[in-house]
Amino acid sequence: MVPATVSNNVPGSDFSIGADTALNTITDAYESCLQLHEARSCFEEFCVPICVLPATISNNVPGTDFSIGADTALNAIVETCDRIKQSASGTKRRVFIIETMGGYCGYLANMGALAAGADAAYIFEEQFDIRELQANVEHLTEKMKTSIQRGLVLRNENCNENYTTDFIYQLYSEEGKGVFDCRKNVLGHMQQGGAPSPFDRNFGTKISAKAMQWISKKLKETYRKGKVFANTDDSVCLLGMRRRNLVFQPVAELKNETDFVHRIPMEQWWLKLRPLMKILAKYKTSYDVSDSGQLEHVAMHSPKEAETGAI
């Protein structure tokens, strides 16, 4: 018997044929382009125009506000949440705990919670502790005394390694005993299937056409003496949407805007909408539109930047 599986789960063998290939394949496209850019000084073959198109449901690509596939996944999450809430219309006092995908990026959980009218959304970018969980349980307890006797809580799959979906489900079930019962649902790969949304179809068409125009232009600009030689920073770009504009940004410049450990941008625009979700859930909070949406526990600010922000 010859071990051959990408899972590397054959007993009696430390490695299987295909496992190392699969491991090397699981790399981020953005990091790969950075490596290609850095290798240009040694390998002339890499001196060609390269354009990165953001395509992931997690919407965690630096340099763009949206990624192809994120809107389709978000629609699937909201539709599922609506179905779950409708199923609870005949049942009084029930809270649903729903786990979404997204890796360490909480875009799907946060925006899905905002669109579906959830009571809370737990994400990695905004750390939480047991006191906040307790406050959410108390909020739902008070909510059950009103005419709307159902609750919805979303959790990003990697928001916290200790406060797992099972832990939150058991906590809500125990603390809400006698007031409401609890159910949990892990959406899983259902978020990755289905037909693309109209936004994703149009967005994908637009950036693909623009990328081809850019590559054609760069090939003409860098063609010299019978060959293409492109070794400048602006010849390896990411095409993303920034404030409704399609913008080409050199990947070398985006390196400082990226948290490579968790594969998320240092700054994310949708974090500014977190207070709005709590206001709609009738929490006592305020909505500050001046919030920059930065990750406080990821982005390190220098004292000079802190003084400028204080002013």
DSSP per-residue string spanning the chain: -----TT---TT-S--TTHHHHHHH---HHHHHHHHHHGGGT-GGG-S-EEE--B-TT---TT-S--BTHHHHHHHHHHHHHHHHHHTTTSSSEEEEEEE--TT--HHHHHHHHHHT-SEEE-SSS---HHHHHHHHHHHHHHTTSS--EEEEEEETTS-SSS-HHHHHHHHHHHTTTT-EEEEEE-GGGGG-SPPPHHHHHHHHHHHHHHHHHHHHHHHHTEETTEE---SGGGEEEEEEETTEEEEEEHHHHGGGEETTTTEESB-GGGGGHHHHHHHTT-S----TT---B-TTTSPPPHHHHHHHH-
Residue 288 pLDDT: 64
Distance CA(126)–CA(156), nearest Å, equals 11
Instruction: List C-alpha distances in Å: 10 to 5, 18, 21, 23, 26.
Output: 8, 12, 16, 16, 20
Residue 166 pLDDT: 94
Whether residue 261 has pLDDT greater than 50? yes
Whether residue 119 has pLDDT greater than 50? yes
Whether residue 214 has pLDDT greater than 50? yes
Residue 48 pLDDT: 87
Whether residue 26 has pLDDT greater than 80? no
Residue 296 pLDDT: 46
Percent of the chain past pLDDT 70, that is, above it, reads: 85
The mean pLDDT value for 256-265 works out to 90
pLDDT band at residue 23 under the 50/70/90 scheme: very low
The mean pLDDT value for 177-194 works out to 88
CA–CA–CA angle 92, 77, 183 (5° rounding) = 35
Distance CA(108)–CA(100), nearest Å, equals 7
Q: Render pLDDT for 71-99 as a digit per residue (tens, 0 to 9).
A: 999 999 999 999 988 887 777 788 999 99
Cα 290 to chain centroid distance, Å, stands at: 22
The domains of the chain, with CATH numbers, are 21-69+194-269 (3.40.50.450), 71-192+272-281 (3.40.50.460)
Query: Which residue in 119, 123, 133 sits closest to 81, CA to CA?
Result: 119
What mean pLDDT is reported for the chain? 84
Is the distance from CB of 172 to CB of 152 less than 8 angstroms?
Answer: no
pTM of the model: 0.78
User: Phi and psi at residue 221, in whole multiples of 5°?
Assistant: -70, -35
